[in-house]
Amino acid sequence: MALNTTREAKLMARRRLMIAFFVGVLCIIISAILMAINPVHIIAKFQTRIAPNSLPYHLLQSEVEGVHVKAYLFNVTNPVEFLSGRDRNMKMQEIGPFSYKELRSNDDLELDLEEGVVRYTPNVNVEFVPEESVGRPEDINVTIPNIAMLSMTAMMSSYPFWTRFGYNAFQKQVDSRAIITVPAHEYLWGYDEALITMGNTFMPGWIHFSKMGIMDRLYDKTVPNRLVVGARDVDKFEIKSLNGVSGLPPWGYEDNTTRTNCNTFTNAYEGVAYPDDMTPEKEIRIFRNVLCRFLELDYQEQITMDFGADALVYKISNRTYSPGKDNECLCGKGICMDGLSDLSPCFYGLPLAMSNAHFLNAPPEMYERIEGLQPDEAKHGGRFLIEPQIGAVIETEFTVQVNIVMGDVSFNDEAKAMSGMVVPVGYFKIILPALPEHTKDQLNLMYKTGPAIFLAVEISLYILGTLLITYSFVQVCRTWLCADERAIEYQTPSDEKKATILCVPLMDFDSKSNSFLL
């Protein structure tokens, strides 16, 4: 009975050694795997995937605060002197900001996992933000170029003489002025202009609005926009189509002979999020339907934010405002000027163009007849900061300016002083509000706290595994050493008590079979 008990105890001891050895090996393997796979990144990607009940999906279902749009208007300080010809230069003074925030929701949200896309119709409401504004736009009057009258006059410059003659007669009859004084709110959201009213009444297929306001046109809700964006990690939030078309019809996408990268939704994003595992080589373009085109971005550098996250820094490329062989689609109805991006195909053929604020990076001769503009890279350049691991937007800030390309309007007495000029009317600074503290905490967890915790776990598992394997080897070696001593003593027994004192082996020697027994 005692013999059986002793053997069972020795068998259990041997099993414990084997378990300790394999657990040690397992700990080292797990430690190595954790070091190789970056578990924090895997967890973060899982939490930010587009799937039912995921965080991005809930955000798409909710109304969220989007960018803040700060409008600056160019007030003309010498309207009488300039229009009469006494002053050759138009003197302008920037007034603003008038700040608004976007509240965005997505109607008819549809997640198609089989196709790997999300379909939705953006719905954007705009609210005035008084604490970020110079004052109430209703209370501040601006003397400013009449964008409706001037753009229609400039468009008429390409028409025959008799058409221009009739236009001039009608313009004088309704007393439409080249420079008007109106409250800033009306200029932004709609002011009465007889030429627009006439166009809406007699040409409703051409002009479907009765008032002219630059922000009212930018946030036109009369035409819904159905977006399809990627839902997989590799193309998350990349635009696939708009209203069923995979490009921009105003820029010739639907004609196969004019289909290029300039009018196709390749590497185009709304700017709300980007794919996982971004690299500096990743090509990015920003598309907002109100801008009618893509903003090309160029990678600048990688920085580390104060809350620990890495950020890829991008800026709007000069290609956005540089027509040429590689950017022929930037040119619309004759507006092919360095520093400008044509908007006319999306605005009823009116000769409107987009630029950087204060004509930043444009040739100085473009605004040589305008006083008061001060292009400043720090104020008007902007930048985009993207967290590369999960494609999160850390910071967005850029400016776009609306201009009227006048051309030869010497046929019109009211506007002839502006003939050949590019007239700025205002610009918008588009800013994504600072990240909330809980988002910073999550990024800090992903970049600092999480890796530190897993590093401690990896080190602990490695040390534990090493200790268990070492202990197993030591015990096995001790067992074999004791077995050798017993074997020698059984062969030449001189003092049986000596063997017991030297060690207590885990195996006994059977003298009959000349072998060790458990």
The per-residue pLDDT for range 69-89, each reduced to its tens digit, is 999 999 999 999 999 999 999
Looking at the structure, tell me whether residues 181 and 266 fall in a common domain.
Answer: yes
Q: Which residue segment(s) compose the domain that 122 sits in?
A: 45-435
339 and 395 in one domain?
A: yes
The amino acid present at 99, given as its one-letter code, is S
Same domain, 498 and 393: no
The CA angle 154-158-160, to the nearest 5 degrees, is 120
End-to-end CA distance of the chain: 15
Q: Is residue 303 part of a domain?
A: yes
- Does residue 447 fall inside a structural domain? no
| Residue 452 counted as domain residue | no
| List of long-range contacts for 131-137, beta carbons under 8 Å, 24+ apart | 132/68, 132/70, 132/97, 132/99, 133/96, 133/97, 133/98, 133/99, 134/95, 134/96, 134/97, 134/98, 136/185, 137/98, 137/183, 137/184, 137/185, 137/188
Q: Whole-prediction pTM value? A: 0.83
Contact of 346 with 332, CB cutoff 8 Å:
no
Please write the tens of the pLDDT for every residue from 223-274.
778 999 999 989 999 999 999 999 988 888 888 877 888 889 999 999 889 9
Whether 141 is covered by a domain: the verdict is yes
- Give the total number of structural domains in the chain: 2
Q: Please give the radius of gyration of the chain, using alpha carbons only, rounded to the nearest integer.
A: 37
pLDDT score at 44: 86
Same domain, 25 and 52: no
Q: Are residues 24 and 64 in the same domain?
A: no
Strand-pair category, 90-112 with 117-128: antiparallel
| 326, 473: one domain | no
In a domain, 445, yes or no: no
Is 444 inside a domain boundary? no
Residue 311 lies in a domain: yes
At residue 202 the predicted structure's pLDDT band, cuts being 50, 70 and 90, is very low
Contacts of 227 (CB under 8 A, 6+ apart): 119, 120, 121, 122, 239, 241, 242, 270
Q: At what angle do helices 147-156 and 161-173 cross, to 10 degrees?
A: 160
Higher pLDDT, 102 or 34: 102
- For 343-392, the pLDDT digits (tens) are 888 877 788 899 999 999 899 888 999 999 999 998 898 899 999 999 99
Helices and strands: H and E segment counts in the chain: 13, 19
Contact 390, 44 (CB under 8 A): yes
Tell me whether residue 443 is in a domain: no
The rounded distance, in Å, linking the Cα atoms of 232 and 241 is: 16
pLDDT value, residue 83: 95
- 377 and 500 inside one domain: no
Q: How confident is the model at residue 209 (pLDDT cuts 50, 70, 90)?
A: low
Say whether both 378 and 402 belong to one domain.
yes
Does one domain contain both 371 and 510? Answer: no
Write out pLDDT tens, residues 267-316.
Answer: 999 988 999 999 999 999 999 877 778 898 999 999 998 888 899 999 99
Are 11 and 137 found together in one domain?
no
Question: Rounded CA gap, 196 and 212, in Å?
Answer: 7
